[in-house]
């Protein structure tokens, strides 16, 4: 198998440094820097024969992420992703991308939205395995009682992202 070159960019944000990998203009991995090592390993396994290349600018995804963190909360809407999940995960992740900035949804309502009302735990599992957080906005999913729960980057970052988007009180 010929090598896949992934370009890696690190961006400082008010919520902490993020790192993302892209192939062309498709983001295939994104995490806060303190969670990057695990996602990097998962991404390497997914592509099997990977070469990593540093990329300070990050191309179109880097520009969109910078605009997002400067306050344009819809800047990520048109970004292309390469998530390579199972059909169920892809269905969940596509539904996540339809949640507009400034809104939240419960895990239960997300399960209903994809036509699998009894699959709340599976939806939560797919949410947890999202390889492109922020762009696929898993932070917009909250518990049925309205509490913040279940974010790989930590609840404080989830809260920051939701406040930034106007979906949570400051």
4-80 belongs to CATH 3.30.160.70: yes
85-165 belongs to CATH 3.30.1330.60: no
* Domain residue ranges in the chain: 4-80, 85-165
Q: Any idea what DSSP says for residue 56? A: S
Q: What are 21-51's pLDDT values in tens digits?
A: 999 999 999 999 999 999 999 999 998 889 9
State the CB neighbour count (10 A cutoff) for residue 50.
17
Among the listed residues 4, 11, 5, the one whose alpha carbon sits nearest the alpha carbon of residue 135: 11
Q: What are 100-126's pLDDT values in tens digits?
A: 999 999 999 999 999 999 999 999 999
Which of 138, 141, 162, 167 is flagged as catalytic? Answer: 138
The confidence band for 91, taking pLDDT boundaries of 50, 70 and 90, is very high
- Is the predicted pLDDT of residue 170 greater than 80, yes or no? no
Q: Quote the Cα angle for 102-110-127, to 5°.
A: 85
4-11 and 18-23: which strand pairing?
A: antiparallel
Q: What are 7-16's pLDDT values in tens digits?
A: 999 999 999 9
Q: What is the pLDDT of residue 13?
A: 96
Question: Could you tell me the pTM of the whole model?
Answer: 0.93
The secondary element (H helix, E strand) that includes residue 114 is: none
Q: What are 50-70's pLDDT values in tens digits?
A: 999 999 999 999 999 999 999
Q: What is the pLDDT of residue 1?
A: 63
Residues 6+ apart with CB under 8 A from 133: 30, 31, 32, 139, 152, 153
Active site residue 138: yes
């Amino acid at each position: 198998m010929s090598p896949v070159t992934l370009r890696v960019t690190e961006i400082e944000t008010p919520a902490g440094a993020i790192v993302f990998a892209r192939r062309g203009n498709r983001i295939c991995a994104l995490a806060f820097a303190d969670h990057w090592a695990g996602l990097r390993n998962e991404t390497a396994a997914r592509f099997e024969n990977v070469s990593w290349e540093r990329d300070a600018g990050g191309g179109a995804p880097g520009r969109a992420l910078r605009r997002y963190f400067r306050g344009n909360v819809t800047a990520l809407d048109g970004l292309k992703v390469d998530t390579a999940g199972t059909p169920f995960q892809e269905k969940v992740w596509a539904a996540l991308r339809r949640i507009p900035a400034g809104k939240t949804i419960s895990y239960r309502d997300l399960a209903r939205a994809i036509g699998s009302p009894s699959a709340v735990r599976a939806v939560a599992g797919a949410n947890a395995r999202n390889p492109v957080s922020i762009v696929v906005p898993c932070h917009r999913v909250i518990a049925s009682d309205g509490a913040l729960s279940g974010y790989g980057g930590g609840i404080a970052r989830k809260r920051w992202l939701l406040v930034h988007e106007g979906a949570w009180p400051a």
